[in-house]
A = this chain, B = another copy of it.
Amino acid sequence: MKTEEKLNMTMLCDFYELTMGNGYFKNGYKDRITYFDVFFRSVPDKGGFAIVAGLEQLIDYIENLHFTKEDIEYLRGRKLFDEDFLTYLENFRFTGDIYAIPEGTPVFPREPLVTVRAPAIEAQLIETFTLLTINHQSLIATKANRIVRAARGRTVLEFGSRRAQGADAAIVGARAAYIGGCHGTACTISDEMYGVPAGGTMAHAWVQMFDSEYEAFKTYCEIYPTNATLLVDTYNTLKSGVPNAIRAFNEVLKPLGITKCGIRLDSGDMTYLSRQARKMLDDAGWTDCKISVSNSLDEYLIQDLLIQGAEIDMFGVGERMITARSEPVFGSVYKLAAVEDEEGNIIPKIKVSENVGKITVPHFKKLYRFYGRDTGKAIADYMTVYDEQVDDTGDMELFDPEATWKTKTVYNFTARELQVPIFLGGKCVYERPSLEQIREYCRQQVDTLWDEVKRFDYPHKYYVDLSRKLWQIQQDLLRAKR
């Protein structure tokens, strides 16, 4: 783990967080306790759910939060900030509480993915990085999960570093893709730093370096007899690539008794080529040879290829996963939900908008997921005020917060609280799961969703309802603001 090299990201903040911070400081609001929620309004690609990710990097960021002397000098040079405020920043640490939904959990619009309870300046300052890490990794984990589901059990590898939007997008992007269900990556540093299994064999340049394709393949098999996946499309896949691969397998691997090997297709029609190649390999006795493909793949193309009977064992997915090309933004926002008055009473706050979808759910909240006791499936999510208890021993009537006459009774269910404490009083209290555990948890939790929620197009809308008390507070605040 290259942890010692991690950058201090304290200054990765929007400048207004500092001007507001200085303002709160001068105005005596420095220690005023605020509650902010991170939530999103719609699932990318019009999907039925998202996978939340990025929490581990948020923890690293919070633990490392401090201003260096250089940072203070830079800020002083801007001639906007009070000296008292700059002195305060010299000793700045995060002292608040953070609650979050663990990485790998399927989540839905309006749910508080992260809730920050902290003095105003601290809570405001961490806005940008908190959103950035949750938005980015949730985006990639969500996209990867779609692609992995399309592959129906076949191996999916992340191959997109070269098209990623910056180094970090490649490195933690591969991590997020792994959480979403990918089996590995081509990105070496993601393995070294996070343990995402990295692999890869050859590029076209390897084939071009030799006098013949056959010689290139033979040499590769000799060097890596147990790891030989040959790229067969440099000249002509079926006339040259596959026959040369078979010849190299026969001459190098067969005498060693090795039957495991592979070919990779990187251009041309993948249904046709994979079926032809499969037949040629099988006819030559290389039935264990795996066929990988890697050309402009996403969930829709993978689904189509499989419907058409393509003979593919492994998908290498590049730019369309690492940039979530079809919808490259996960739009979480960071909104004030409450403040505490001087006696510590929690005063709920709302942001009104002309656009009904942009109205926030006020207050410090709890979020529950209800699972059927018989099916194990997720039935609905339920938001309450922080001091409410959910009784899951009997039946319960839920109602749609936007169409309150729509009700639904849930019964025989167990309620699980989704947010867990991450920081309390500035101290990390969260036992971080391993990346493997997160990935496995994600797989299990996606399994709790009904198929209709998992459909790529026009999925069923999952219920995310409010308690009557929370709904009433929202309505009262809305009326008061009009």
Contacts and interface: CB of A to CB of B under 8 A. Distances in A.
A188 B7 contact: no
A351 B208 contact: yes
A450 to B, nearest CB: 31
Interface in A110-128: 120, 124, 127-128
Contacts of A131: 162-163
A135 interface: yes
A133 B161 CA distance: 10
A188 B11 contact: yes
A346 interface: no
Contacts of A32: 209
A24 interface: yes
Contact of A336 (B8, B209, B219, B329): B209
Contacts of A187: 12, 14-15, 128
B9 A335 contact: no
Interface string A247-276: 000000000000000000001100000000
Interface stretch (A169-177, A306-314, A400-408): A169-177
A325 interface: yes
Contact of A11 (B71, B139, B189, B352): B189
B201 A167 contact: no
Given A19-B224, A71-B192, A209-B120, A14 B328 contact: no
A336 B202 CA distance: 13
A349 interface: yes
A160 to B, nearest CB: 9
Q: State the number of copies, please.
A: 2
A171 B355 CA distance: 31
Contacts of A353: 267
B201 A16 contact: yes
A5 interface: yes
Contact of A132 (B17, B162, B219, B352): B162
A62 to B, nearest CB: 14
A36 B192 contact: no
Interface string A41-76: 000000000000000000000000000001100100
Contacts of A19: 200-202, 224, 227
Contact of A172 (B7, B16, B139, B166): B166
A113 B32 CA distance: 53
A22 interface: yes
B268 A354 contact: yes
Contacts of A234: 351-352
A267 B354 contact: yes
Interface string A308-339: 00000000000100011100111110111001
A373 interface: no
A464 interface: no
Question: Closest 4 interchain pairs by CB?
Answer: A166-B168, A16-B200, A15-B200, A131-B162
12 contacts: A7-B7, A14-B188, A15-B188, A19-B201, A24-B209, A27-B223, A74-B191, A74-B192, A80-B224, A127-B162, A128-B162, A325-B329
Given A2-B70, A205-B335, 10 more contacts: A14-B161, A14-B203, A16-B186, A16-B202, A128-B187, A131-B163, A164-B165, A166-B168, A267-B358, A319-B331
